[in-house]
Every structure is written in C-alpha cells, then in structure tokens.
Amino acid sequence: MTLAAIILATLAAGIGSVWVAALLMGAGLRGGGGSVGPQRLLSLAAGALLATAFMHLLPEAFESHVDAHDLFATLLVGLVFFFLLDKAELWHHGHEHNHGALPANGHGTTGHDHAVAVQQRHDHDQAHSHDHSHHHGSKAGGWAVLTGDSVHCFGDGILIASAFMADMRLGVIAAFSVLAHEVPHHMGDLVVLRQTSPNRRMALVKVSLAGAVTALGGLVGYFLVGQLHDWLPYFLVVASSSFVYVALADLIPQLQKRLSAPETLTQIVWLLVGMGLVMLVSGAAHVH
C-alpha cells in the first residue's frame, strides 16, 4: 500500500508539475503580466516549502527518540551541504563560460529564464542542478538540462519516499510541495527545450520523461529507508534542510526586489496561499 502510494505521488509530482507548467505557458501566463506569473509562482512555492519543512517534516522528526541536538546538527550540516553543492555547480558552469561562446547579451539566459533558472538548483543527492546556464543555440544545452533535471527529480523521489515512510499524510504534503516548487522550474526547462528543438510536443515529452524519474527515486527511497528505518528522523531532517535551503536561498531572493505596495502585497498573499495550501492538503489527507 505504501509503495503504491509513493509511486502514484512521485509520478503526480514529477510529471504533474511538467504539465501544469506547460498549461500555464500555453495559457500565456508565464509573463509578468499574467495572472499567475513567475513571481507569484515563486511566492507560492516558497510558502509551500517553508510550511512543509517547519510544520510537518521537522515536527515529525523531533517526535522520535533521537536526541534533538543530533537532529539540529543534521539540519545545519544539510544546509551547508546544499550551499556547497550550489557553489560547486556555479564554479563548474563559470568554468564552462570561460571556454565557450555566450549569446550576444552575455548572460546565456533569457529574461524569463533568469527568473526561473536559479531554481534549477542543487543536486540534493539529490542533485538539483542550480543554474543550468542554458546554451540555447546548441542541442548539448538541451541534453544538459534533461540530465540535470533527471538527477534532480530522482532526489525529489527519495525525499517523498522518506516522508511516506514516516507517515502517509506527511508523504502527500511533501509530494504537493515538490509539485509546487517544480512548476516554475519546469517552465524554464520547457523554454530551453523549445529553443533547442522546433517540436514543442517533443520538448514536453522529454521534460515529462525526466519528471518521471521522480518515481524511480521514490522506488529506491522506499527500499533504502525501509532498510534504514532507525535513520528515518535524519532523512526527514535532510529533506527539511533541502526545502528550507531552496526557499531561502533560491526562491525568496528572487522576490526581494523593489516593488510597488500592491505588488508587494500580492507576493505576501501568494506566500500565504502556498502555506495555506499545505495546511489544506494536510487536513484533507488527515481526514482520509
């Protein structure tokens, strides 16, 4: 039962986020003027991740018999680990830039890509590929995006499986949070793939296949966590550190810009909506 739930949830999070991103882009909502532009999606995703980490994953971990000092140490190590992964990824791509041609604007990303590329983050062993540095003019750039996205999704699957092994309700919440923060990420991936290939449908298929790797990560996570059940609280804390790092280091900094009062209020509202949706999903899962 648990394994079936993990597979369904990881497929929903991995592939569902790709299709939601495609629908938003198809409806013309990826620009700043749309009713659900990237900034609002970033706010929603940040709220969902923070609420999941602080209201669900961490409390579940601290309800175990593991010493609180050890769990806090794990949280600290996790945050530093993801920071170092980001630094390594930035150094790697900076090295590539010094040996390759850049587009005319000297950045390697479109304006919209810059709004979402920072989310193609950390490897969390998870390997979230931070700043894919999309080389739009080459097929190699498209394959680099797909490779990084696949490893990224594999890590998400392990995190979701860890949450399900602790509690079914927690797994549903984690899957929802992953789906929420992957939508703007996949919007960036689709932009890149559509520029490296004229076939939009094929671009969607490729990113969907990368998203399906989430289920593979969930399968591996199920057996990994099952064999190491005593380490489950640590898995949950690592998952929390991943969510907190993504929200505070990748998403929220993109929201910290000078805006008008109405725009600032809109950001806050969408941040609260993200938190509220996590609470809503939690309540619904608890009822069932």
Q: What is the pLDDT of residues 148-166, one digit of tens each?
A: 678 778 888 988 998 998 8
What is the three-class DSSP state of 123?
Answer: strand
Cα–Cα distance, 48 to 64 (Å, whole number): 24
What is the three-class DSSP state of 230?
Answer: helix
Per-residue model confidence (pLDDT) at position 92: 53
pTM for this model (two decimals) = 0.63
State pLDDT tens for residues 234-271.
988 988 888 888 888 878 888 888 778 888 898 899 89
What is the three-class DSSP state of 127?
Answer: strand
State pLDDT tens for residues 38-87.
677 778 888 888 888 898 889 888 988 889 999 999 999 999 988 887 77
Domain parsing of the chain, residue ranges:
2-25+49-98+114-287
Indicate if the pLDDT at residue 35 is higher than 70: no
End-to-end CA distance of the chain: 14
